[in-house]
Amino acid sequence: MYGQRYFLLSVTLVAAATTPALAQSASPKVGVGSSDAQIVASSPDFSGMWVHPYFPGFEPPASGPGPVVNKKRRRQIFDADGRFLRANAASTGDPTLLVGDYSSAILKPGAAEIVKKQGETELSGGAPTPHNQCWPEGVPFIIGSIVMQVLQQTDKIIILYGDQVRHVRMSEQHPAVVTPSWYGDSVGHYEGDTLVIDTVGVMVGPFAMVDVYGTPHSPALHVVERYRLVDYESAKDALERNAKENFRIPPGIIGFDVEPNNIGKHLQVQFTVADENAFTVPWSATVTYGRAMGEWTEYVCAENPHEYCAGRDATVPRADKPDF
């Protein structure tokens, strides 16, 4: 029951909605003084709507330290191209029950204890996350969203996730003193065919976590994302890891899906996370998107039913006084 509830909640929310080096600042990779036309001509085109129809999200790396994974995931059967076929009938796991592996080597003791308690709460009737509480989903949590839309301009990039918006300033550096914010201070630049986004200053607010398992972060969180367009053959290994780890939302349940056959260009986001207060080492993951088939729909999370589990009231942000 809990797994079904989380699956339906996730679909409702989203339907309406080698490790890179870590650098503390980003600088222009197109020559200073380049015209807007030159910058546009030399930049890859990531614009448009992309979908990753898997729950809950991150794809573990092929090697090296990766994210916390789900202890309750069900083993899945998939074909040679990474397309989901069926769940292993001999397995009793529930892939939508969100219980993180608190024994992960990437977790420092304090972070491991938080992940363990989050899992216990989940098993007792459901645990809160920014996703099911209609709070802003910080970086990298939001990278695991099922759908996103990229609005690409010369001086900035805007990324939409349902009703949430990230702003990336291009060819700039972080300020000397960063004011914490929900999505942090993000600056970007191009390295050939790759968009690199460097984010610091992610706010430690209510439900501050880097994933759906409650994995915490501190003000020291630093995330570097690398966006590339890759062909299907290059994306296949990540798609196979994804099929093993995450639950494929069946076509037709949400208002959009990947294009038929899904063998064209994919948008792959490889990101690295570092936080000396929460993690023993930097770790990395990917999210591989296909071109979306469907239309972007209007959505406001806070208007959805707000009892997120076991009849308990969600902590949806509320104003202290009327606007008018």
* Structural domain spans, the chain: 2-297
In this prediction, residues 19-35 reach a mean pLDDT of 41
pLDDT of residue 93: 54
What is the residue-averaged pLDDT of the chain?
A: 79
Residue 30 has pLDDT above 60, yes or no: no
In degrees, rounded to 5, the angle at the alpha carbon of residue 70 between the alpha carbons of residues 66 and 71 is 115
In this prediction, residues 80-94 reach a mean pLDDT of 47
| More confidently predicted of 223 and 31 | 223
pLDDT of residue 181: 96
| More confidently predicted of 17 and 312 | 312
Torsions phi, psi for 121 (to 5 deg):
-65, -40
Residue 187 has pLDDT above 80, yes or no: yes
pLDDT of residue 302: 63
Residue 25 has pLDDT above 90, yes or no: no
pLDDT of residue 105: 97
Q: Residue 284: CB partners within 8 Å, gap ≥ 6?
A: 19, 20, 61, 64, 65, 66, 270, 271, 272, 273
In this prediction, residues 184-204 reach a mean pLDDT of 97
| More confidently predicted of 278 and 21 | 278
In degrees, rounded to 5, the angle at the alpha carbon of residue 64 between the alpha carbons of residues 166 and 99 is 65
pLDDT of residue 309: 52
* Element housing 147 (H / E): strand 147-152
Provide the whole-model pTM. Answer: 0.78
Alpha helices, DSSP H only, in the chain? 2-15, 36-42, 109-123, 232-245
pLDDT of residue 164: 92
pLDDT of residue 15: 37
Q: How far apart are CA 102 and CA 69, in angstroms?
A: 9
Which of 31-40, 132-141, 221-230 has the weakest average pLDDT?
31-40
pLDDT band at 212 (very low <50, low <70, confident <90, very high): very high
Residue 275 has pLDDT above 70, yes or no: yes
pLDDT band at 217 (very low <50, low <70, confident <90, very high): very high
Q: How many residues does the chain have?
A: 324
| More confidently predicted of 312 and 135 | 135
pLDDT of residue 318: 66
pLDDT band at 79 (very low <50, low <70, confident <90, very high): very low
Q: 293: which strand partners? A: 257
Token pair of 44 as six digits: 């890859």
Residue 298 has pLDDT above 80, yes or no: no
Q: How far apart are CA 34 and CA 22, in angstroms?
A: 26
Which of 149-153, 174-178, 233-237, 257-261 has the weakest average pLDDT?
257-261
Q: 48: which strand partners? A: 150
Residue 29 has pLDDT above 50, yes or no: no
DSSP assignment of 50-109: EE--EES-PBPPSSS-----BTTPPPEEE-TT--EEEE-TT----TTS--B-TT-TTB-H
